[in-house]
């Protein structure tokens, strides 16, 4: 193994040097570069390869067999990884895409944890993504710590929630909380007043992302049954008339699709976020009570797309 490589002030690389990494995974790097649609951001293959190397080094700091590294790289969200690389490189179109596609969702996530202060929270995250501190000083972009293991939006939501938690912890060290002043006399909301606790917001966000992906992976007719039954509140008989199936068949296939969705979401939460079975159970419980988890919207979008 060669010496460690460092990219423009980032975290240092892992045990396998960049040249060895590229030689061992040349064909896979080329395929993932094409799959990432990096050309829309004019992102060179070498720059994208550096991001893959950072991700592998972060996952395997002590090295790993090439086959295991290759399997890991194949699981990454490479389109989001390429987008993050392009933003770090200062590509204007990439930043415009992030603002257009992600800002509304980030504002919604910030509102769920910070209430009226949501814009300040979301905008402070954008400053860190750009690589600017609260005092206006330049520093390494927060995107240097994005490795593609989860969707970029999911990662941003997680960072946003953690920033909110950190801010409250810092405030708690200097200011005693008065629950009656914050509108929660029974203390049910803890130090967050009438806004939902950040842990709940994070659970809902990652569960919604996992459910979104799981619905998109279903067969088109399964999505149609789900949309008609859950999204439009049709009866089993009405769904059957539309799909040309017996009522019992509709019921059986709906149950199969529900089991497939739950299994897929559980596997996503376990693989992408390292959650235990107990934590996954909590995510489902929070999501079941969350008005912001729009199953109808997700089903309609999956069916249209």
| First CA to last CA distance, the chain | 46
Q: What share of the chain is helix, strand, coil (3-state, %, to 5)?
A: 70, 0, 30
Contact 142, 181 (CB under 8 A): no
Tens digit of pLDDT for each residue in 276-285? 888 888 888 7
Give 42-49's long-range contacts (Cβ < 8 A, gap of 24+).
Answer: 42/86, 42/91, 43/82, 43/85, 43/86, 43/89, 43/91, 47/85, 47/89, 48/81, 48/82, 48/85, 49/18, 49/21, 49/22
Given this model, what pLDDT does residue 296 score? 45
Is the separation of the CB atoms in 84 and 149 below 8 Å? Answer: no
Domain ranges of the chain: 18-76, 92-192, 198-304
- Exposure b/e, 116-149, CB count within 10 A at least 16 = b: eebeebbebbbebbbbeeeeeeeeebbbbebbbb
Question: Mean pLDDT by 10-residue block, N- to C-terminus, for the chain (305 residues)?
Answer: 36 64 95 94 94 92 90 92 92 89 78 67 75 54 87 81 65 43 36 45 77 83 84 83 90 90 89 85 74 47 37
Number of alpha helices (DSSP H) and beta strands (DSSP E) in the chain: 14, 0
Residues near 223 by beta carbon (within 8 Å), at least 6 away in sequence: 215, 299, 302, 303
- Contact between residue 51 and residue 72 where contact means Cβ atoms under 8 Å apart: no
Q: pLDDT per residue over 238-268, tens digit each?
A: 889 888 999 999 999 998 988 888 899 889 8
């Amino acid at each position: 193994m060669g010496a460690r490589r460092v990219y423009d002030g980032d975290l240092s690389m892992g045990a396998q040097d960049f040249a060895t990494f590229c030689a061992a995974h040349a064909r896979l790097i080329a395929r993932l570069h094409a799959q990432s649609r990096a050309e829309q951001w004019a992102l060179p293959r070498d720059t994208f390869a550096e991001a893959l190397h950072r991700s592998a080094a972060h996952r395997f700091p002590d090295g790993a067999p090439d086959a295991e590294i290759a399997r890991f790289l194949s699981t990454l969200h490479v389109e989001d990884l390429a987008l993050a690389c392009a933003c770090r490189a200062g590509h204007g179109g990439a930043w415009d895409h992030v603002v257009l596609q992600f800002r509304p969702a980030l504002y919604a996530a910030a509102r769920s944890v910070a209430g009226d202060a949501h814009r300040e929270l979301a905008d402070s995250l954008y400053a860190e993504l750009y690589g600017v501190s609260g005092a206006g000083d330049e520093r390494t972009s927060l995107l240097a710590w994005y490795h593609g293991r989860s969707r970029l939006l999911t990662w941003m939501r997680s960072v946003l929630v953690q920033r909110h938690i950190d801010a409250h912890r810092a405030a708690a060290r200097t200011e005693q909380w008065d629950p009656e002043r914050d509108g929660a006399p029974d203390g049910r909301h803890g130090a967050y007043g009438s806004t939902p606790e950040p842990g709940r917001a994070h659970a809902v966000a990652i569960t919604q992302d996992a459910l979104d992906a799981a619905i998109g992976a279903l067969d088109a007719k399964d999505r149609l049954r789900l949309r008609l039954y859950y999204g439009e509140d049709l009866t089993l008989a009405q769904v059957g008339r539309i799909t040309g199936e017996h009522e019992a068949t509709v019921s059986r296939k709906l149950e199969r699709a529900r089991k497939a969705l739950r299994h897929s979401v559980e596997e996503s939460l376990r693989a992408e976020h390292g959650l235990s079975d107990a934590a996954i159970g909590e995510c489902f419980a929070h999501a079941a009570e969350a008005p912001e988890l729009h199953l109808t919207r997700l089903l309609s979008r999956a069916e249209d797309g």
